Structure 1
Amino acid sequence: MNVSSWSACSRSSCVMARDHRGSPLLTLTPRGEEALARVTDRAAKLHRTLFAAMPDEEIRATRASLRRLLADPLDRHEGAAGKR
């Protein structure tokens, strides 16, 4: 999180910082939890609209592929045989 984002979140009372082994541990305040719930609800509605025409199985397969890519970054394989 960059400094301006942290400042905005801190001023809005959406997050709280606690010392955690020398690094700040951020937790949502009740106000932050409410804001996250609103954003999540709006995102879910938008996703349903955007992907309404796409079959559920295609959405599941795409999500599974993305999860695998995020769990096993391609850059780890750079320089390996069969460069990607």
Structure 2
Amino acid sequence: RPGTASLLRSGRGVLLDLTAGHWAEPAGPWADRVDTVSAEPVPDGPLAGTEAVLVRPDGHVGWVAGDGTDVESALRRWFGAEGSG
């Protein structure tokens, strides 16, 4: 299974969906700039209980589900308007 670094080699953002597909639909309009990857967090690992994480192309976390902002706002902030890629 690929690590986060290998997912970023394309120079695109990555939305790690840790809920078996819940986050793919809202991220759809940014599919030309952000890859949505479904993954299962390791029990008791650092992502246990986290639903989704948006990773910028530089490897920094741009958003975490539950931080008080919606994913669309984070996607607009880091990747521009929907469909403007």
TM norm structure 2: 0.21
Structure 1 or 2: larger strand share? 2
Structure 1 or 2: larger helix share? 1
Report which of the two structures shows the higher radius of gyration computed on alpha carbons.
1
